[in-house]
Structure 1
Amino acid sequence: MRILVLGASGFVGSALHAHFAAHHEVVGTSRGGHGLTPVDLADADAVRALVGQGFDLVIHTAGVVDLGAAQRDPAAAFAANVAPMVPLLDAIGGAKLIYLSTDNVFDGTHDHYDETAARAPINVYGETKVAAEDLVLAHDRHLVVRLPLVYGRSPLSNKFLARYAASEIAARTDIVCNPLYLPALAPALEQLVDESGVVHIAGTETLSRYELMVRVRDRLAAPARIVATDRLSAVQDCPRPLRLVMRSNRHSLTGPDVDTALDDLCSNHH
């Protein structure tokens, strides 16, 4: 297959690029550097020219993913996350698009969410992803993949593990999800590549941000102190859904439990 990975220098994108490049012809984009194809997704002509080179599969991982940044500048978030979808979908021809979305399309008030759950975003980031999902889902062959918090090591953007170099890390005890181990994502996408519509991919274990950060810290033997916060004590940069437990009624794939993931993380580190 000939695959285009948009956002291939990012945390999720670089892991997908590395995985698929082992067996397929893969073109990865970034804003510059890393030997990737430089493209500004805000440049509609550049997007059309790139996508017009002929791909079987386009995986879209690019955009503003920082919830606080999106909340501070909604116009910039919509410009990055929604506007480029129009020329992309126009230019994609016969290719299949896999668009990576988020559990933040939900409001966090339900016990869990499957693919049929009604979306009700409470922050700007979630609103941008709902708008982009709608553009993708107007074409019946494409696939929206909603993801939770993703953790692990990434080839080019090791931002999850980099935070353990700090002396203190604040982590919410009242935000709960099914975090997904990053290396589990690409194999799951390979299994689901022929699906269309919406699928959820999440980890098998439900835990708080605080529990995850402590377990990773302990396995890495990192010096960082994990400071428990909640909605009353945390920095309020944007509204955050409290319970985002994603399930799937379309497949049985999940990421590994946290202990299995950390075994893998540590074995690959040494």
Structure 2
Amino acid sequence: MRILLLGASGFVGGGLWTALSARHEVVGTFAARRVPGLVPLDLRDERALAGLAGGGGFDLVVHAAGLVPLEAAEGDPGRAHALNVRPVEVLLDAVRTSAAKVVFLSSDYVFDGTRSQYTEDDPRSPVNVYGRTKAAAEDLLLADGTHLVVRIPMVFGRSPWADTFLARMAAPTTAAQTDLVCAPLYLPSLGPALAGLWDRAGVVHYGGGEVVTRFELMTRVQRALGLPTRVVPVRDADIHPDCPRPPRLVLRSIRHALLGPDLDTALAHLAADVRG
């Protein structure tokens, strides 16, 4: 299969590149972070995006690019729309004349965090700009009826070019929220799961196998890897006063049986990977 992977230089995109390029012909893109072998692409360059997606002979377009930091989206909604919503419109127009299917990586941030868990049938109610842009992009894709939206939660692990998760733990102390509950997803599990889902259309969830607070996640990562940082418990409002986050985001699916690994399994694999 010939795949276009938008955002291959990012944290999640890099993990997908590792998994998918082992079995498929993958053309990946980068924006600010230059990576040899990847194609430069600014999502706001509509002509370049349309030409690449519509004229590259792709079977599948995996869209893992956009403005990800929540604070950046909250501080500049116009930029968030330009990077997270408008490119989806351009992409859909480009692939209408080809056989390419779009697989869009969305987020649990389309929910408000007031339920114990969320399935694909639950109503969306985003509480921040990032979540609203993801919901708007979802609407565009789902209106077509042939493409796939895959909602994922917080992702952890190593990535080849943007190792942002472990970079959070490079300082002497690492703040982690005790009041945010999630079902974190181990990055290496995403590529194989995506390959098992991309024949579908509509929306699916793919979540992690264990429900924990962010403080528990970071503490267990620190212990498993023997990192010198000290994980410090905090309340989310103390470190993110201007960008609301839903208090409990647990993704579960009623459309398939796939689920990411539990933390012990994931951390054993991560520790072996880090230590070589």
Work out the CA distance in 1 between the residues paired with 2:236 and 2:268. Answer: 32
* 1:7 and 2:7 correspond: yes
Residue of structure 1 in register with 2:31 after alignment = 31
Work out the CA distance in 2 between the residues paired with 1:232 and 1:180. Answer: 24
3-state DSSP class of the match of 2:42? Answer: coil
3-state DSSP class of the match of 1:107? Answer: coil
Q: In the alignment, residue 83 of structure 1 is paired with which amino acid? A: R
Q: CA deviation at 1:235?
A: 3.2
* 1:168 and 2:173 correspond: yes
Residue of structure 1 in register with 2:201 after alignment = 196
Work out the CA distance in 2 between the residues paired with 1:90 and 1:141. Answer: 13
Between 30-39 and 140-149, the greater mean CA deviation after superposition: 30-39
Residue of structure 1 in register with 2:273 after alignment = 268
**Matched pairs, number:** 270
CA offsets 1:18-37 (integer angstroms, 9 cap, x no match): 21111111100011521210
Work out the CA distance in 2 between the residues paired with 1:48 and 1:72. Answer: 28
3-state DSSP class of the match of 1:164? Answer: coil
Between 141-150 and 234-243, the greater mean CA deviation after superposition: 234-243
Work out the CA distance in 2 between the residues paired with 1:219 and 1:231. Answer: 24
Q: In the alignment, residue 262 of structure 1 is paired with which amino acid? A: L
Q: In the alignment, residue 102 of structure 1 is paired with which amino acid? A: S
Work out the CA distance in 2 between the residues paired with 1:230 and 1:221. Answer: 24
* 1:217 and 2:217 correspond: no
Between 225-234 and 1-10, the greater mean CA deviation after superposition: 225-234
Residue of structure 2 in register with 1:97 after alignment = 102
* 1:42 and 2:47 correspond: no
Q: Which runs of 5 or more structure 2 residues have no equivalent in the other structure?
A: none
TM-score (norm 1): 0.98
Matches within 5 A, 1:103-182: 103-182=108-187
3-state DSSP class of the match of 2:73? Answer: helix
Residue of structure 2 in register with 1:55 after alignment = 58
The share of aligned pairs that are identical, in percent, is 55
3-state DSSP class of the match of 1:136? Answer: helix
Q: CA deviation at 1:121?
A: 0.4
Work out the CA distance in 2 between the residues paired with 1:179 and 1:71. Answer: 23
Q: In the alignment, residue 94 of structure 1 is paired with which amino acid? A: A
Q: In the alignment, residue 37 of structure 1 is paired with which amino acid? A: V
Q: In the alignment, residue 67 of structure 1 is paired with which amino acid? A: L
CA offsets 1:224-260 (integer angstroms, 9 cap, x no match): 1111111453331301100111110001111100010
CA offsets 1:55-91 (integer angstroms, 9 cap, x no match): 0000000001101111011111111100111111101
Q: In the alignment, residue 20 of structure 1 is paired with which amino acid? A: L
CA offsets 1:97-154 (integer angstroms, 9 cap, x no match): 1000000000000111000000000000000000000011111111000010000001
Among 226, 235, 249, which residue is 1:244 paired with? Answer: 249
Work out the CA distance in 2 between the residues paired with 1:232 and 1:257. Answer: 28
Residue of structure 2 in register with 1:67 after alignment = 70
Among 79, 83, 86, which residue is 2:82 paired with? Answer: 79
Work out the CA distance in 2 between the residues paired with 1:50 and 1:230. Answer: 44
Q: What's the C-alpha RMSD, in Å, of the aligned pairs? A: 1.0
Residue of structure 2 in register with 1:21 after alignment = 21
